[in-house]
Amino acid sequence: MAAFNRFIEKWMALVTPICLLLGVWFPDIAKHGLPYVPFVFAFMTFNGALKSSFKDVAGVFKNPSILLVMLGLIHVVMPVFACGLGHLFFTDNARLIAGMVLEFSVPTAVSGLMWITIYSGNSPLSLSLVVTDTVLSPFLIPLTLRILLGKTVHMDTVQMMQELIFMVAFPAIFAMCLNQISHNRAKECLPKVLAPYSKLALIFVVISNSSKVAPYIRHMNGQRVAVAVTILVLAASGYAIGLLVAKLWKKDHETSISMMYGNGMRNISVGAVIAAAYFPGEVMFPVMIGTLFQQVLAAFYGKATEQPGDSSKN
């Protein structure tokens, strides 16, 4: 299983797009996994948060300016940017606009921690961002959607918050409580043991959710190709904006890497689960299409910014 985990991490840039295509090719099989996605995703969140502790988060909150700026980029700048481009290019399709906004309203990705480790980012900052953003997401996502989309798309905000608390906030807090009770023994032992199963969970979630977007990918048209290109531009801009803000702020290389990946990588699986549960199928198209680009862009930006000594050269 350890070898499997290393293999998946090495080829992560290809794994998620392949999983998306499997769900699209075999939707009648993949759709049977949909009822179990929230539970599998809760496990993924728990495993990702096991690397964090209340002490890590408290340490960053002693000087919270960077964390607040990153949260502002993730939950204000990027959703507004996505909403603006959506209204500019797809005025006549509220569902596509909703999908674009949802794609860039979800929290930063737990998988970003892998890239931050590879390219020598600021791990305590990134861990704190992931945990803080994860815990706040049940409140921030519905709020962002309500403000930017208004009444153009109907959604059950209360039910959405409850499901996000179950899938995201509760598992993250439980993981940190386990670390606290075990005096960090859980943090030292469990992540390595559970890592390959977390990768399998990711594969399951992506394949299952892809079944709902299959009709839209199988019947691509000019508008959907334009949506895919727009998502690619937005995704690439997320990494660039995070890095640019860090450079303008004159932050060190480690912090710059963390800000780049923090703003660039999104927990697309959260968006896919929300889209599948609370929106029409077309809303999921902009969300899921992001899986084609995210890991590839992560590798590209990592290579573009790497310095001598990064663990990727070892």
Which residues, at least 6 apart from 148, have a Cβ–Cβ distance to it below 8 Å?
79, 80, 83, 101, 105
The residue among 152, 272, 265 whose CA lies nearest residue 208 is 272
Helix spans in 121-184 (H)? 123-149, 157-164, 170-181
Q: 3-class DSSP state for residue 296?
A: helix
Q: How high is the pLDDT of residue 3?
A: 85
Token pair for 133: 């953003």
Rounded CA separation 243/263 (Å): 9
Fold of 25-306: Na+/H+ antiporter like fold (1.20.1530)
pLDDT digits (tens, 9 = 90+) for 206-237: 888 888 778 878 888 889 899 999 999 999 99
Range name among 174-178, 210-214, 255-259, 284-288 with the lowest pLDDT average: 210-214
137's tokens: 């997401």
pLDDT in tens, 62-109: 778 999 999 999 999 999 999 999 999 999 898 999 999 999 999 898
Helices 222-248 and 94-103 meet at what angle, rounded to 10?
30
* 24 φψ region: left (φ > 0), alpha (ψ -120 to 50), beta (else): alpha
How many Å is the maximal CA-CA distance in the chain?
Answer: 55
Query: CA-CA distances (angstroms) from residue 12 to 21, 45, 192, 263?
Result: 15, 18, 17, 19
Provide the 10 A C-beta neighbour count for residue 198: 22
Contact 36, 201 (CB under 8 A): no
Q: Look at residue 280 and tell me whether its pLDDT is greater than 60.
A: yes
pLDDT, tens digit (0-9, with 9 covering 90-100), for 166-197: 887 788 889 889 988 998 888 888 888 888 89
Q: Which amino acid is at 143?
A: L
3-state helix, strand, coil in the chain (%, to 5): 80, 0, 15
Banded model confidence at residue 202, pLDDT cuts 50, 70, 90: confident
* Per-residue tokens: 6: 């290393």
Q: What is the pTM of this model?
A: 0.77
